[in-house]
Amino acid sequence: MTVPHEIAVLASLRKRKGIPIRAIAQTTRINVRYLEAIEDGRLDQLPEGIYRSSYLRQYAEMIDEEVAGSLARTLAEASTKPAPVLGDSRIKETWIWRRWVTRGLAAVAGVLLPFDLAAEQPVAAVAGCPPDPRCHVLSRFFHQRESPLAEHAPHFLRAADKHRLDWRLLPSLAMVESSGGKYYRNKNVFGWQSGRARFQSIREGIEYVASRLAESPIYAGKDVAAKLRIYNPARRDYSVKVMGVMRELGPDVQANARVSGEGKPR
């Protein structure tokens, strides 16, 4: 779930003031794990209804009453709109279960399914990709996770090469922020501007976010880990999570090709 900007502001303010999160828990009687969920943007893990609104209000007031008052309306609205995001492990578990059930039924019926066994996905999954091994890897990666972004694999790669980004960065951001395009709004699969940014199409969003990550003064010249710390400063594990997805995709083969002189960015 994308971290609402207002909560990120309060979390940053709490740290600057040196207010321990356990002190807030002791005064408000709110469980520490709920307070941590608020700061991580996991509002769907809080109790629903009036309790959620109350927890958010008390958390804000403990940090700064003036700021809390100005943000109360936004926080209350955010508390009523949790995003139904499945965790990566749940997505993987569901896909594995469906795959093996399908195989088992097929075996009983004596049917040979058109699977590319090396990729564990239908051969048709990579249709439409240019002759670029990264495109086939990315398309299969999305298909394995039942992501609707598979058809955009060529767009992810073109944007990455155009702006000289690690080709795995944008797809990994989309997986973490919207479960690979399953849960989002405004054609914004990257959670850009805390999910408030609007794009005319997913392709436009890919190009825009790629350009900002490469050219914006706050991102330009920084490595992937530094970019991710800026992208979502409220979650301590954010860069670890995104880079974990990147490792699942494989090495930065385009960068390796540039080093060896075998390829050039488009």
- Contact by Cβ (8 Å): 82, 43: yes
**Long-range contact list for 245-250, CB < 8 A, 24+ apart?**
245/88, 245/168, 245/171, 245/172, 245/175, 245/176, 246/166, 246/168, 246/169, 246/172, 248/141, 249/137, 249/138, 249/141, 249/168, 249/171, 249/172, 250/137, 250/168
pLDDT value for 245: 93
Amino acid occupying residue 13 = L
* Cα atoms found within 13 Å of the Cα of residue 217, Cβ hemisphere only: 0
Q: Which two tokens stand for residue 106?
A: 């097929």
pLDDT of residue 66: 65
Q: What is the pLDDT along the chain (266 residues), one digit of tens a residue?
A: 344 566 777 787 788 888 899 989 888 889 999 998 888 878 888 887 777 778 888 888 888 766 666 555 555 555 555 544 444 444 444 444 344 333 443 343 333 333 333 333 333 344 557 678 888 889 889 988 889 999 999 999 999 999 999 999 999 999 999 999 988 889 999 999 888 889 999 999 999 999 999 999 889 999 999 999 999 888 888 999 999 999 988 876 544 333 333 343 33
| Residues in contact with 256: Cβ distance below 8 Å, sequence separation at least 6, in sequence order | none
Q: What is the predicted pLDDT for the residue at 71?
A: 57
Instruction: Give me the residue spans of the domains in the chain.
Output: 5-79, 88-260
Question: Does CATH place domain 5-79 in 3.50.50.60?
Answer: no
Specify which residues 185 forms β-bridges with.
188
The answer to whether the beta carbons of residues 229 and 239 sit under 8 Å apart is: yes
- Indicate whether this model's pTM tops 0.85: no
Residue 121's SS3 state is strand
Architecture of domain 88-260 in this structure: Orthogonal Bundle (1.10)
d(CA 234, CA 9): 8
139, two tokens: 């398309």
